[in-house]
Amino acid sequence: MIDAGLVEGERFDPGRARGRGTIDLLRSFRTAAALGWKMEANWTDPVLFFIYSVAKPVASALILVFMLQVIAGPAGIALRPFVIVGSALWSFVVSGVAGLAWAVLDDRERYRMLKYIYVSPSSFITILLGRGIARLAVGAMGAGITLAVGVIVLGVPFNLGDIDWLLLAIVLVLGAVTICALAVVMAAVCLQTRQESWDYPEVVVGALFLVVGAVFPLSVLPLPLQAFGLVSPLTWWIAGVRQALFPGGPSSIGGPGSLWQQLAGTLNPSAFEVVVALLLSGAVVTLASAILFRSGEARAKDRGLIDRTTGS
């Protein structure tokens, strides 16, 4: 006989239908993050983990650095910090944005558990964020290793004493929130789609790569693309991290003839301007992502997509 440790009379407690709000949310988030860490980090297969989380971002950065070296010659050395930081941060963006979307696809297609998670009383988005945060952490490790390779192997000048720690802390927090918001948007999209949408996050992030100043300044882009870059919070986040790590270094936003210079009248944005722009654009993206996820989830539920599998 299975009584699950309960006695008669305990079962119909109306309070059971209410839950415990924030405590339940935190518990679900923590548990999902632990699950995500165990699953996403590929600890069971160190080779896979090394390839995807270390070798891939480092190789991407090295390719860009050597291309710069070939094209610009000795002048390219001065731009190495710019390229290394942008490249390292970009691996973080890719991991973060893809994290939630892949959690949706993994749980629905591979593990067939999405429906059980969905019909649990936990907040669906909280569980997805927990799963995604693990991938974000893996991305952060990759970014850190790329930066370390840049400093140690490529001789990127790096001085801990020069770092603007306050600016770094602020932009890292705001940037993480923004990346999570973009990840939520991709999760909402992937709820609507089939298994071929595994590539969607990388496609979207790849498109953004061109316009947010990751490896070259916005000023080289046509004005409409510069305008797009200026409203993207990722642009300000990358610029903020660069400014914090290498104060006085080249900016990806301003420069002679840039749209920023035309609009603001200054050559480069100040740290304060970067933070304000990141805060505002990040808030808009976060708000929009919440709305999009809510409507996307409702649409998926309405159309029977939550547990749809494609037989893979």
Residue 27 near other proteins by CB under 8 A: yes
DSSP H helical ranges for the chain = 22-40, 46-50, 56-72, 80-105, 114-118, 124-152, 165-192, 200-209, 223-231, 233-245, 259-264, 271-303
User: And the tokens for 211?
Assistant: 């316009």
Size of the site for other proteins (CB under 8 A): 49
User: And the tokens for 303?
Assistant: 């159309």
Of 45 and 162, the one with the shorter C-beta distance to other proteins is: 45
DSSP annotation of 107: I
Residue 5 near other proteins by CB under 8 A: yes
Residue 247 near other proteins by CB under 8 A: no
Q: How many residues does the chain have?
A: 312
What is the Cα–Cα distance from 200 to 29, expressed in whole angstroms? 25
202 burial level (CB within 10 Å; 0-12, 13-18, 19+)? middle
Of 6 and 70, the one with the shorter C-beta distance to other proteins is: 6
Q: Which of 176, 146, 132, 183 shows the shortest CA–CA distance to 53?
A: 146
Residue 37 near other proteins by CB under 8 A: no
Residue 272 near other proteins by CB under 8 A: no
Residue 302 near other proteins by CB under 8 A: yes
Residue 236 near other proteins by CB under 8 A: no
Residue 39 near other proteins by CB under 8 A: yes
Binding mask 101-120 for other proteins (x = CB under 8 A): ----------xxx-xxxxxx
Of 164 and 307, the one with the shorter C-beta distance to other proteins is: 307
Torsion sign (Cα): 146, 152, 157, 158 = positive
Residue 16 near other proteins by CB under 8 A: yes
Please give the residue ranges that form the binding site for other proteins (CB under 8 A): 1-8, 11-12, 14, 16-20, 23-24, 27-28, 30-31, 34-35, 38-39, 44, 111-113, 115-122, 127, 301-304, 306-311
